Chains A and B, each alone.
Chain A
Amino acid sequence: MAESGVTDGLCNTDDIERSKTEGKELTKEEKQRLRKEKKQQKKNKEKNDEKTSHEGEKKKNKKKKEEQPAGSASQPPAQPSPKAVPAPAPPPPAAAAVPVPASEAPAPADKPAKSKADLKAERASKGKKGDVGQPAPTGKLKAPPSELQPVVKRLPEHVQVDNPEVVKKLAKKLERQQIPLRSDYGYKVSLFSHLHQYSRKAPLTQQLGIPSTVIHPAIVRLGLQYSQGIVAGSNARSVALLHAFQQVIRDYTTPPNEELSRDLVNKLKPYISFLNQCRPLSASMGNAIKYIKKEISNIPSQCKEEEAKIKLLNCIERYINEKIVLAAKAIAKYSIEKISDGDVILVYGCSSLVNHILCEAFEKKRKFRVIVVDSRPRLEGREALRRLVQKGISCTYVLISAVSYILPEVSKVFLGAHALLANGYVMSRVGTSQIALVAKAFNVPVLVCCETYKFCERVQTDSFVSNELDDPDDLIVTRKGKTQLEHWQKVPSLGLLNLVYDVTPPDFVDLVITDLGMIPCTSVPVVLRVKNVDQ
């Protein structure tokens, strides 16, 4: 009986594999079939656990590997596995699933070529460990997150630009979702050929029809604001994203024969792809999207549409309030203890959190002065300067190349963060690591302020593997009527590099101030673990 069930499953999985490799979306029937097979699998597994039959193992191998993408297709929010943070949100499981079966398809095909005797010998040498290892991953898909998981991480698409297969698959996926593909611009420095480089003058919306039927207009507007740099800074981007999603939810109506919890998640996928094309998603945005998807899929099916929508809108409001607004208040409270009278505080660029802290400290009548360090080409420090001067704080302004001149006067350095990685590295605006380096050389304490919703499970040791390349034309400047780099595109051996982020090693950072308290940089994975268990 096990055999017949398994052979039936074999034909079905072949079909499904074929449709996957062709790039078609799994239809509802196929998905249901997969779910049935999984249930059968569990029954078979319990029967065959003591048996060591070859065919059962062989088919199980195939099924397990196909189930993993199927499993992930139906439960993206519940899976807390340590995938790369942008991965759960932008490259929907369909894209992730497509490369996996493509590599699996040859593998099962090879297996029947081996004789049963060979396989038995192999397995005998591997021992029972092989048996347990294969059923284990499927079992652990539903395991509580506190157990260690041997799940293979899938690389997000936006760091595999130099792999033509991945680029083709992304193009196919976007075509299916009816979103235009944004093309790279200009000569890319060879060290960064694995990243995208877009031009600000060619926004994605030029290729969209008006009105766009697939993408909600609030999302189109948001995407344009991101790509033109009108909304910048990780908190601002996250809040704008959440407000746009609120608008989407308000305008949403469930189509007949569909459940809100599943359909809304599917509706959000093309929006996320679109936003990702406009500007790669930040870590904080990734976490916010994960939260929303989880909330949506947790809506019970008997809930009426109006109630569900109100519930979701309240969820989002609460998220913004707790994670961003109240967190800022808590961080300000902790930081004010660290600011004493007569301090000279150095800040870099424009971090909304650090500005908030300084304004609060000034209102609490602390006497200090601020040195704002800025860098080309974004010159974000001028915005910070305006906000601080409006409050009445006495400020000094320099460029980053003068930081070793000004540092002997400084008593503390406050830095903002874009994300905090699980190995303790701080990912922030390019130039932050430099400031931390020079501050360390002058023995000035460096404090990083970061909300917990920006904590990220990724690890990274240098600024190359995962970064963002901004428009290279921003580096061109006209001085005294002469523009040196005007024709840089014509010169074949000249490249311009405009990095957006860099990572600061934890030994440069003395303290991280979060809404949970003041922790050292190395405690980030502890916080992540605690948060996951709570959720």
Chain B
Amino acid sequence: MRPGLHEEWGEIDLTERIEAFLSDLKRGGSGTGPLRGSAEMARETTALLRRIAAQARWSNAGDLMEIIRTEGRRMTAAQPSETTVGNMIRRVLKIIREEYARSRGSSEETDQQESLHKLLTSGGLSEENFRQHFAALKANVIEAINELLTELEGTTDNIKMQALEHIHSNEVIMTIGRSRTVEAFLKDAARKRKFHVIVAECAPFCQGHKMATSLSEAGIETTVITDAAIFAVMSRVNKVIIGTQTVLANGGLRAVNGTHTLALAAKHHSTPLIVCAPMFKLSPQFPNEEDTFHKFVSPHEVLPFTEGEILSKVNVHCPVFDYVPPELITLFISNIGGHAPSYIYRLMSELYHPEDHEL
């Protein structure tokens, strides 16, 4: 009997939930559905995966991993730009591997990681097919996923607490667009220090406006500037603090469009660029995949349909993301502390197993 999802009545509920989640993903990305933050998306994905682990039929770790991989592929295909979904799936897969290894009694380090020594000396040992059955595995996996959920809930607080280490008084800080992490970061620092924030509005969606109103309501001196004035005011800025959508495997960023210009301007003036990104945004993708890197939305935002007579003769582009190379970034602040961009590859190996990089 092949383990699967579609057997019992109780599992139809699970299928429905997954389908609902997938359709939410599809709609959310095109800008028509409700906009969700990445943290929310990560929490929902993890909750869904916990449900799958609890309710689906599986007898050994290999089956569970297969189920999660299949569902994961569907989820990432629904919205390729939403990388947090894929990241959470890979985290859960790693959790399963770890729990399996612990149940088997072997140490995690030696089994899990490929090394040249292993490849040369022990040819067949890495045939780990996870077929052994352990009774306590289910409970352990669910407990580990719960820990992951707690960690997710605490990420913003952990980042916030580091704010005072990085912001001194009478500083001028620049940011772009709207990031909930950066907002919390700045508001926390504003409790004790007085500083000035310049927000670039980030056309065409002008998310910066919302950020500015929110910051000014917390009593922070805020100025809104247009995207065109970024280089002009950069000479007076002491620090640039931004959020990002994804942190790539080489330490680069996939952030909202306009961030590359901001990073270049900061580099020109030797201003430090600080990225506040929680660990669940770290993704094992590299930026060279041209067809999946960029996401475009309706050009109506850029050139509205009221300009009808020229609209048909012109190409209009409205990309959503920008690639920022790691040379332009000074520091990453995440929930586990601060790191240089050159350290990201190491963190990745701790979070994800190399075999899960391709779902």
- Taking A398-B317, A403-B261, A463-B232 as known contacts, 13 extra A-B pairs with beta carbons closer than 8 A to each other, sorted by chain A number, are A191-B233, A375-B226, A376-B227, A389-B313, A395-B313, A400-B203, A401-B202, A430-B229, A433-B231, A485-B212, A491-B213, A494-B212, A497-B229
Q: A382-B303, A493-B216 are in contact. Are A376 and B203 (CB under 8 A)?
A: yes
Task: List A contacts of B99 (CB < 8 A).
Answer: none
Q: Which of B65-73, B90-98, B217-225 contacts A (4 or more CB under 8 A)?
A: B217-225
Query: Nearest Cβ distance between residue A354 and chain B, in whole angstroms?
Result: 17
Interface pairs (12), CB distance under 8 Å: A376-B227, A400-B203, A401-B202, A404-B257, A431-B227, A485-B209, A485-B213, A491-B217, A494-B223, A495-B223, A496-B224, A502-B229
User: B307 at the A/B interface (Cβ < 8 Å)?
Assistant: yes
Question: Which residues of chain B (61-90) have a CB below 8 Å from chain A?
Answer: none
Query: Interface digits, A423-452 against B, CB 8 Å rule (1 contact, 0 not)?
Result: 000000111011001100100000000000
Is there an interface contact between B227 and A401, defined as CB atoms closer than 8 Å? Answer: yes
A218 within 8 A of B: no
Taking a contact as CB atoms under 8 Å apart, the answer to whether B294 and A405 are in contact is: yes
Decide if B47 is an interface residue (CB 8 Å cutoff). no
Question: Are A502 and B315 CB-contacts (below 8 A) given A400-B227, A485-B209?
Answer: no
Residue of A whose beta carbon sits closest to that of B265:
A437
Given A376-B201, A477-B206, A499:B229 Cβ within 8 A:
yes
Cβ of A334 under 8 Å from chain B: no
**Contacts A191-B236, A396-B317, A430-B229 hold; do A438 and B260 have CB atoms under 8 A apart?**
yes
List of A residues within 8 angstroms of B226 by Cβ: 375-377, 430-431, 475, 498-499
A464 to B294, alpha carbons, bound, how many Å?
A: 35
Judged by a CB distance under 8 angstroms, whether B314 is at the interface is yes
Asked if B51 lies at the interface with its beta carbon under 8 angstroms from chain A, I say no
Interface membership of chain B positions 170-212, coded 1 if the CB is closer than 8 angstroms to chain A and 0 otherwise = 0000000000000000000000000000000111111001101
Residues of A with C-beta under 8 A to B230: 434
List the A side residues contacting B229 at CB < 8 Å.
430-431, 497, 499, 502
Given A386-B310, A396-B316, A398-B317 in contact, is the A462-B235 Cβ separation under 8 Å? yes
Smallest CB separation, B194 vs chain A (Å) = 11
Q: Across the interface, name the chain A residue whose C-beta is closest to B228.
A: A431
Say whether A484 contacts B260, CB under 8 Å: no
- Whether a CB of chain B sits under 8 angstroms from the CB of A402 is yes
Residue A189 at the chain B interface, CB threshold 8 Å: yes
Q: Is the CB of B233 within 8 A of A463?
A: yes
Closest approach, in angstroms, between the C-beta of B306 and any C-beta of chain A? 10
Closest chain A CB from B236 CB (angstroms): 6
Would you call B210 and A484 a contact (CB within 8 A)?
Answer: yes
A189, B223: Cβ atoms under 8 Å? Answer: yes
Q: Which residue in B202, B203, B235, B314 is a CB contact (below 8 Å) of A385?
A: B314
Interface size class of B (residues with CB under 8 A): 35 or more
Residues of A within 8 A of B223 (CB): 189, 494-497
Tell whether, in the assembled complex, residue A405 and residue B231 are in contact, meaning their CB atoms are under 8 Å apart. no
Is A397 an interface residue, CB under 8 A from the partner? yes
Tell me if A202 is interfacial: C-beta within 8 Å of chain B.
no
Contact A385 B224 (CB under 8 A): no
Q: Give min CB distance, B82 to chain A, whole Å.
A: 20
Mark interface residues in A479-518 (1 if CB within 8 Å of B CB, else 0). 1000011001001011111110011000000000000000
- Kindly state whether residue A399 has any CB partner on chain B within 8 Å: yes
> Does the CB pair B316–A398 fall under 8 Å?
yes
Contact B203 A399 (CB under 8 A): yes
Chain A residues contacting B260 (CB-CB under 8 Å) are: 404, 438
In the complex, what distance in Å separates the CA atom of A191 from the CA atom of B221?
Answer: 12
B22 contacts the other chain (CB 8 A): no
In the complex, A406 has a CB within 8 A of chain B: yes
| With A385-B314, A395-B313, A462-B235 as contacts: A497 and B205 at CB distance below 8 Å | no
* A396 contacts across to B, CB distance below 8 A: 314-317
Contacts of A434 in B (CB 8 A): 228, 230-232, 261, 265
CA distance A398 to B323 in the complex (A): 17
Cβ distance A504 to chain B, nearest Cβ, rounded Å: 9
Interface string of A383-398 (1 = CB under 8 A from B): 0011001000011111
Within 8 Å of chain A (Cβ to Cβ): is B168?
no
Query: Which residues of the other chain, B, contact A191 by a CB distance below 8 angstroms?
Result: 233, 236
Known A-B contacts A396-B316, A484-B213, A496-B224; A430 and B232 likewise in contact (beta carbons under 8 Å) = yes
**Separation of A98 and B222 alpha carbons in the complex (Å):** 39
User: In this assembly, does B268 line the interface, its C-beta being within 8 Å of a C-beta of chain A?
Assistant: yes
CB neighbours of B213 from chain A (8 A): 484-485, 488, 491, 494
Name the distance in Å between B33's Cβ and chain A's nearest Cβ: 13
Contact among B210, B236, B257 for A401, CB-based, below 8 A: B257
Task: Give the residue of A389, A430, A431, A493 whose beta carbon is less than 8 angstroms from that of B220.
Answer: A493
**Is B258 engaged at the interface, CB distance under 8 Å to the other chain?**
yes
Establish whether residues B206 and A484, one from each chain, have CB atoms under 8 Å apart when the complex forms: yes
Chain B residues lying within 8 Å of A395, measured Cβ to Cβ, are 313-315
CB distance from A24 to the nearest CB of B (A): 42
Chain A CB within 8 A of B34 CB: no
A377 neighbours in B (Cβ, 8 Å): 226
Q: Is B144 an interface residue (CB 8 A)?
A: no
CA distance A499 to B258 in the complex (A): 18
Known: A484-B210, A497-B223. A437 touches B257 (CB 8 A): no
A430 to B316, alpha carbons, bound, how many Å?
Answer: 22
**Distance in angstroms between the alpha carbons of A389 and B315 in the assembled complex:** 11
- B302 x A397 contact (CB < 8 A): yes
A interface footprint on B277-289 (CB within 8 Å = 1, 0 otherwise): 0000000000000
**B319 is an interface residue with CB less than 8 A from chain A:** yes
Q: How far is the CA of A397 from the CA of B316 in the complex (A)?
A: 5
A286-315 contact mask (Cβ, 8 Å, vs B): 1 or 0: 000000000000000000000000000000
By the criterion CB–CB under 8 Å, are B231 and A400 in contact?
A: no
CB-CB under 8 A from B265, the residues of chain A are 434, 437
